[in-house]
Each structure stands twice: as structure tokens, then as C-alpha cells.
Amino acid sequence: MHKEIVEKGISLFRRLNINLSNAPPNPIEIKESLDKTICMASNYTSNEIVNACKDPTDQFKRKLTKLYNTFTVAAYSLASPYLLSVTFEMVQYSMRNNIFCS
């Protein structure tokens, strides 16, 4: 069941234009994604993120967060190589689309 959730999650993330490679990520790709995430996050102060969390989120944001949470549990259970990549890409996607909390 976890394998199907991970496969479906990757497919859905790709449909949202969340950048995931076709092959499992290698350590260099993961490091590059981490560096990009750090760079993007450095553009926000902690107060900006906290204030963004005070705004109510819409249905799409709640569903996206639920998808990510479900994916994370399944990917962790499988020790999926996509876990870190999806996490970094979701943080980047959230910052680009002002989705900080749900």
C-alpha cells in the first residue's frame, strides 16, 4: 500500500509542476535541492512566515498539505529515496505560492 501511495504522490506532485526527476534522486541532486531551498528560505523572516500562518488557507492548500503528509508517511515507511527531494520541492513550492500553513 505504501508503494502505491508514493507512486501516486509523485505523479500528483509532477502534475502540479513540482520538479521531480524520473529516476530516484542521487546525493548531488538532493544537495542542490537543499541549497536552493536554503537560498529561497533566506528571503523570508520568521515573522513573515508566522504572519502568513495566521491567514486562513483555502481548500486547495489543505488538500495539498494532506497529500504531502500522506506521501511523507508512506515514503518514510519505505525509506523512499524521494522523501528528501519531495520535502525540499514542497518547501520551495510553498514559498513560491505563499502556502506556509494549513
The confidence band for 95, taking pLDDT boundaries of 50, 70 and 90, is confident
Grid coordinates representing 67 are: 497529500
Residue 20 domain flag: yes
Q: What is the pLDDT of residues 33-71, one digit of tens each?
A: 999 999 988 888 888 877 776 665 678 878 888 898 999
- With both helix axes pointing from N to C terminus, report the angle between 27-41 and 82-96 in degrees, rounded to the nearest 10: 20
Is residue 98 scored above 70 in pLDDT? yes
Any domain includes 70: yes
Cell 542542490 appears where? 32
- Determine the residue type at 98: N
Q: pLDDT digit string (tens) for 3-32? A: 999 999 999 988 888 878 778 889 999 999
Asked if residue 102 is part of any domain, the answer here is no
Which amino acid is located at 85 in the chain? S
Which range marks the domain in which residue 82 is found? 2-96
Q: Which of 39, 20, 35 is nearest to 81 (CA)?
A: 20
In a domain, 101, yes or no: no
